[in-house]
């Protein structure tokens, strides 16, 4: 089977956009699932975060969009707000060659009234979390009568979070003659039950898990006690000098302490966990994804759905007691065929967890003394970007082009100094090169964007 996107005979606009985005060939999950998706088969696929599944179902959906209709034609359910936002962002990127495709996120933590207004104006693709989607369905603000493609992303995580009944109820609002696509990193019994309930004659697709694991270098360092972990982390960061990394911790408090300690050492890092307000979590993830932060210290709940390309290192500060969570964590590095690196700290209290990982992976791992890392070297990587916030967003009808035009026009900097731009309803974020951040901020504060004054600051 060919791994070329051209073999799919997609819309020529989608093919050209894929080339412009640098997609040269399909990942394993794409080459196995995309021909089935395009031929309108139901698919149940085993695919981890970062395997390229969003591109697979995104291209499938966009190849069937009828632009003459303003009603939702596809529904994508995700376990978390963060993942829903990232999926929507990637689908918009895939759709940019097709004018006026509207992708709308429907999640908790955001204004329900604003979502109702957006739905009233029409949308082609809905990406949402089960709770908010079901709520708007029951209130009849959301109509799924024209949906032809129904997608469950990270279905196992949704079931872990107790969404089985919500998903079952939502499924009754979607036409019976729909196409159903279910993506899950694991296949426990409840996933099999859900697949049988909502899909018809689904084709099962599984990517070779061993091949994926072989792309990730795994190291386990032995420590005498938990209090040695911070020094060990500093040693590991100094030795490998990753440009971007995630440190997984078992509690909110530990993630805060780790982030504070590294920040005091001059490392650009922030913590992310369930105690943060939604806007705070959005800011941290935006800064991390646009290269304004080198690292984040995260709990598992907060880190679900984080999909950062080019993640050099994952550190298991605390080893998970669940081997599936361990594999899910390290799968965030080594994306889409690239090599990855995962480091885990192991005290005698975590020996049982280590044994469960060996059994689950059916492979051996060497335990390395932490002294083998060598002497501590200072971590010297600095973020190449700084994130500016602008006190205006979609409700002010701001677009990326307006922001780029204002930056270039007011400050005179080259547009190549501007990175990712993210626009929410009330605020916009733009990454700019560190050396010109203060200049751009000052010029925008004294100038105008789209002939209007907005407050601009540095996150």
Helices 12-20 and 81-95: crossing angle in degrees, nearest 10, is 110
User: Is residue 215 domain-resident?
Assistant: yes
In this prediction the pTM is: 0.70
Q: Are residues 417 and 439 in the same domain?
A: yes
Cβ contacts of 12-16, under 8 Å, gap ≥ 24: 13/97, 13/98, 14/59, 14/62, 14/63, 14/94, 14/97, 14/98, 16/97
**2: helix, strand or coil:** coil
Q: Are residues 41 and 185 in the same domain?
A: yes
- DSSP annotation of 415 reads G
Taking residues 345-371, report their average pLDDT. 92
- Looking at the predicted structure, is the pLDDT value of residue 310 above 90? no
Number of domains in the chain: 3
Partner residues linked to 205 by β-bridges: 45
Among the residue ranges 109-123, 175-189, 325-339, the one predicted with the least confidence is 325-339
144-178 tens-digit pLDDT? 999 999 999 989 888 888 899 999 999 999 999 99
Q: Are residues 82 and 193 in the same domain?
A: yes
User: Is residue 380 domain-resident?
Assistant: no
Q: Are residues 149 and 283 in the same domain?
A: no
Q: Give the pLDDT confidence score for residue 138 in this predicted structure.
A: 95
**Among residues of the chain, what percentage have pLDDT more than 70?**
95
User: Is residue 179 domain-resident?
Assistant: yes
CATH code of residue 429:
3.30.70.330
Q: Are residues 28 and 67 in the same domain?
A: yes
User: Is residue 89 domain-resident?
Assistant: yes
Q: Are residues 189 and 133 in the same domain?
A: yes
Taking residues 304-323, report their average pLDDT. 83
User: Is residue 379 domain-resident?
Assistant: no
**Domain finish residue from 373, 402, 437:** 373
Distance, CA of 73 to CA of 61 (rounded, Å): 8
**CB 47: neighbour CB atoms within 10 A?**
25
Taking residues 187-207, report their average pLDDT. 86
Contacts of 420 (CB under 8 A, 6+ apart): 289, 290, 429, 430, 431
**Domain finish residue from 207, 235, 256:** 207
User: Is residue 344 domain-resident?
Assistant: yes
Q: Are residues 54 and 166 in the same domain?
A: yes
Contact call for residues 431 and 292 (beta carbons, < 8 A): yes
Q: Are residues 360 and 391 in the same domain?
A: no
CATH code of residue 266:
3.40.50.300
Residue 116: pLDDT band by 50, 70, 90 thresholds?
very high
Structure tokens, 305: 């759905």
Nearest to 417 by CA among 396, 446, 388: 388
Distance, CA of 74 to CA of 310 (rounded, Å): 29
Cβ-count burial 255-274 (b if 16+ within 10 Å, e if not):
bbebbebbeeeebbbbbbbe
Q: Are residues 197 and 179 in the same domain?
A: yes
Structure tokens, 97: 């060659």
Contacts of 451 (CB under 8 A, 6+ apart): none
Residue 214: pLDDT band by 50, 70, 90 thresholds?
low
Q: Are residues 225 and 319 in the same domain?
A: yes
Residue 101: pLDDT band by 50, 70, 90 thresholds?
very high
**Domain finish residue from 343, 373, 403:** 373
User: Is residue 259 domain-resident?
Assistant: yes
Structure tokens, 178: 């729909």
- Looking at the predicted structure, is the pLDDT value of residue 211 above 50? no
Taking residues 206-227, report their average pLDDT. 79
User: Is residue 233 domain-resident?
Assistant: yes
Partner residues linked to 306 by β-bridges: none
Q: Are residues 299 and 351 in the same domain?
A: yes
Q: Are residues 84 and 126 in the same domain?
A: yes
**Domain, as residue range, for 451:** 385-458
Q: Determine phi and psi for 115, rounding to 5 degrees.
A: -65, -40
Taking residues 229-241, report their average pLDDT. 96
């Amino acid at each position: 089977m060919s791994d070329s996107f051209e073999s799919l005979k997609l819309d020529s606009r989608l093919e050209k956009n894929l080339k412009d985005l640098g997609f040269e060939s399909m990942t394993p999950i794409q080459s196995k699932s995309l021909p089935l998706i395009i031929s309108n088969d139901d698919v149940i696929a085993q695919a981890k975060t970062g395997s390229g599944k969003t591109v697979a179902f995104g291209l499938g959906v966009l190849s069937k969009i009828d632009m003459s209709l303003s009603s939702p034609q596809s529904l994508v359910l995700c376990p978390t707000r963060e993942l829903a936002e990232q999926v929507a962002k990637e689908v918009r990127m895939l759709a940019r060659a097709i004018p006026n495709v509207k992708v709308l996120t429907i999640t908790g933590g955001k204004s329900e009234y604003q979502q109702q207004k957006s739905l009233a104006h029409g949308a082609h693709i809905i990406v949402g979390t089960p709770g908010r989607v079901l709520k708007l369905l029951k209130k009849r603000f959301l109509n799924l009568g024209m949906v032809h493609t129904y997608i469950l992303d990270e279905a196992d995580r949704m079931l872990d979070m107790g969404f089985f009944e919500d998903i079952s109820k939502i499924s009754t609002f979607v036409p019976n003659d729909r196409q159903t696509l279910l993506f899950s990193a694991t296949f426990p019994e409840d996933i099999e039950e859900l697949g049988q309930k909502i899909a018809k004659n689904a084709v099962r697709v599984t990517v070779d898990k061993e091949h994926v694991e072989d792309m990730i270098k795994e190291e386990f360092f032995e420590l005498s006690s938990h209090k040695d972990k911070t020094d060990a982390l500093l040693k590991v960061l100094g030795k490998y000098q990753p440009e971007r990394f995630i440190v997984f911790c078992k509690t909110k408090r530990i993630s805060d302490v780790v982030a504070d300690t590294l920040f005091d050492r001059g490392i650009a890092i922030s913590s992310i966990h369930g105690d943060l307000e939604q806007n705070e979590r959005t800011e941290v993830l935006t800064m991390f994804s646009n290269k304004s932060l080198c690292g984040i210290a995260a709990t598992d709940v907060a880190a679900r759905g984080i999909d950062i390309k080019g993640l050099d290192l994952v550190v298991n500060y605390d080893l998970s007691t669940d081997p599936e969570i361990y594999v899910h964590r390290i799968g965030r590095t080594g994306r889409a065929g690239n090599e990855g690196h995962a480091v885990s700290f192991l005290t005698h209290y975590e020996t049982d967890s280590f044994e469960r990982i060996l059994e689950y992976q059916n492979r051996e791992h060497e335990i390395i003394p932490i002294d083998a890392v060598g002497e501590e070297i200072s971590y010297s990587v600095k973020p190449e970007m700084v994130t500016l916030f602008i006190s205006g967003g979609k409700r002010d009808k701001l677009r990326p082009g307006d922001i780029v035009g204002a930056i270039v026009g007011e400050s005179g900097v080259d547009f190549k100094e501007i990175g990712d731009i993210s626009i929410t309803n009330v605020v916009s974020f733009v990454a700019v090169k560190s050396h010109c951040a203060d200049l751009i901020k000052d010029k925008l504060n004294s100038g105008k964007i789209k002939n209007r004054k907005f407050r601009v600051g540095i996150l």
